[in-house]
Amino acid sequence: MAQTKVYSLFTDFDINLFKAGKHYRLYEKFGSHIVTVDGIEGTYFAVWAPSAKRVSVIGDFNFWTEGEHELNVRWDSSGIWEGFIPFVGKGNIYKYKIESHNNGIKTEKADPYARRCEHPPKTASVVWEDKYKWKDNDWMKTRKKHNALNAPYSVYEVHLGSWKRNLEEDRSLSYFELADDLVNYVKDMNFTHVELMPVMEFPYDPSWGYQITGYFAPTSRYGYPEEFKYLVDKLHQNGIGIILDWVPSHFPEDAHGLGFFDGSNLYEHPDKRKGYHQDWKSLIFNYGRNEVKSFLISNAIFWLDQYHADGLRVDAVASMLFLDYSREDGEWEPNIYGGRENLEAIEFMKELNKEIYASYPDVQTIAEESTAFPGVSKPVFTGGLGFGMKWMMGWMHDTLEYFGKDPVYRKYHQNDITFSLAYAFSENFMLPLSHDEVVYGKNSILGRMPGDEWQRFANLRLLYGYMFTHPGTKLLFMGGEFGQYNEWDFQASLNWNLLEFEPHKNLQNYYKALNKLYTTTPALFEKAFSGEGFEWINYGDHENSVISYIRKGDNPNENVIVVCNLTPTIHENYKIGLPEVSGKIKEIFNSDSKDFGGSGVTNSKAITIKKKPWNGKPHSAAITLPPLAITVFSYNHG
């Protein structure tokens, strides 16, 4: 068999950018690329292994024989090994056999830049390219308005392996099948975006995808890379955006992965206090190493470029920000200023967001960040980290705790449900009810609700209504929309059979209607991140456990009034203060509607606004409050 030929895709400029940590398209150079050299088709391989003494490509084309196809090290001290192997092509399976200068240690590694990986538990990389022809041009040209900060954002969080399974064959659905079933469902439910838990290749199913080994390859569990593109394409053709979970915070120690790659701490920080994550038994990237920074930012760009993603939800940002995250005294070392902030990780995140928004201004990055670190979603030029949005973990915690209480005790906890508005506009917040809230003994969202069956469903409708009328964007984990009863199990399908029962079917219809209300009511999204978009009517009626507020958009005539009755007591002639002078208010949404399984207590007629001061406002109206329900009113000027 022909041996390795000297060949390179790298220019001197590429090398300089890579060493400086400023090359953000490394996937165009590293990895395996099918090329023709001197009239012969084959594959060019390139891998970064600066501590290597020898690097061989081993695979099904050379019987996995070390030394048969050795790569050549570049002369520019970049640590890059490369070469062209004739007659190797699409579908060939390979790894890198690396002999280290470090005590002759030998490692056998998957390609960090592979576009496709073998189906786990197999661990090799696959030479791959696809000629996928995208059909989402209309979406890509207009998606800026769908992904903008003043657009409605109702996100359906999905774990592809367990959303719905083929029960006859006891398997997950493929990307192709999901392109029909999932896309049709999300569209029918009026969600604006889907967020996928990590689709990058990972070896261990119970990690749910958060322990990644193939950063540039969609998992082969559900099909080929071009089939995943087909799923994205179908979402876009149906007007649905796609957000991908992305994990730059840590990676697993699996032998074929990035850890101890060339017999040295190449990708991970060499100091265990910065390089090892005790909670997840995984390794932490060395954010201060330029080449690693280029690898990570290139990976983020890759999914936006090659897979048309509309955004990245960045996992575990808090663990990156703080050197003492989940560590005891003595297990971490302060930064050069004596603080606990990880300055290198902070700089990395700023660079990441600057590059993403410079290249793709019509996408969003969303931080899963649970601390009070300031400016997470503020622009880098003002000193922020530069994310588009941040998960509002405090709102999630307070809200679930409040709604878990029996309504009779809620009057003592009014502050729990109103406190989020004290800081609601300090960041661009997304309100998440995510997968993390329905595992590890926390119960399902429905399972946390108190009372009998009617009250549990009424409580859940009220919680969702409060979520959708609260400032910020929205995210719900799959199953929550129809009242999944069990905790989430990544190995099993959602309990779709529950939809045979009226309360669950009614709840699903309710969430669909709620999405419709949200996406068609500008006052609920146009000023989602501004104090101008919200005004309290009354947050102090703790005795009745009622809160009321106004949501405002660009057009004052389209403002809406929201009243939440957080107990089962019906209130007739309940007065709310209003700033408007004349006209009427009209009920446009009521979670107690019989269509949703409610008791049917509604405000069927328009209600006249009277010039009688109330709640510190010059006018008022008397309304009926249904039990455990949210009612939304619009102005009927005339």
CA angle at 200 for the pair 122 and 209, rounded to the nearest 5°: 80
Residue 602: count of CB within 10 angstroms of its CB: 16
Tokens of 177: 């099948």
Looking at the DSSP bridge assignments, the partners of residue 477 are: 157
From CA 385, how far away is CA 375, in angstroms rounded?
Answer: 6
Told to judge if 315 belongs to the known catalytic residues of this protein, a careful annotator would answer yes
DSSP string over 9-57: ---HHHHHHHHHT----GGGTSEEEEEEETTEEEEEEEEE-TTEEEEEE
Q: How far apart are the first and last CA of the chain?
A: 86
From residue 584, how far is each of 209, 577, 610 by CA, in Å? Answer: 52, 13, 9
Cβ-proximal residues to 321 (8 Å cutoff; 6+ apart), any chain:
341, 342, 345, 346, 369, 371, 373
Length of the chain: 638
CA angle at 372 for the pair 370 and 375, rounded to the nearest 5°: 105
Cβ atoms 395, 401 nearer than 8 A: no
- Catalytic option among 68, 157, 268, 315: 315
DSSP string over 379-400: -GGGTS---SEEE-HHHHHHHH
Burial of 446 (0-12, 13-18, 19+ CB in 10 A): buried
From CA 84, how far away is CA 315, in angstroms rounded?
Answer: 37
Burial 243-262 (b: 16+ CB within 10 A, else e): bbbbbbbbbbebebbbbbbb
Q: At what angle do helices 453-469 and 393-403 cross, to 10 degrees?
A: 150
Told to judge if 305 belongs to the known catalytic residues of this protein, a careful annotator would answer no
Closest CA to 261 of 95, 116, 135, 410: 95
Cβ-proximal residues to 26 (8 Å cutoff; 6+ apart), any chain:
18, 113, 294, 295, 298
Phi, psi of 433 (to 5 degrees): -115, 85
Q: At what angle do helices 290-305 and 343-359 cross, to 10 degrees?
A: 30
From CA 210, how far away is CA 207, in angstroms rounded?
Answer: 6
Alpha carbons within 13 angstroms on the beta-carbon side of residue 519 total 20
Tell me whether strands 93-100 and 546-551 are parallel, antiparallel or unpaired. unpaired
Cβ atoms 284, 268 nearer than 8 A: yes
From CA 388, how far away is CA 415, in angstroms rounded?
Answer: 28
- Catalytic option among 195, 245, 368, 437: 368
Cβ-proximal residues to 371 (8 Å cutoff; 6+ apart), any chain:
318, 321, 322
What residues are annotated to the active site? 315, 368
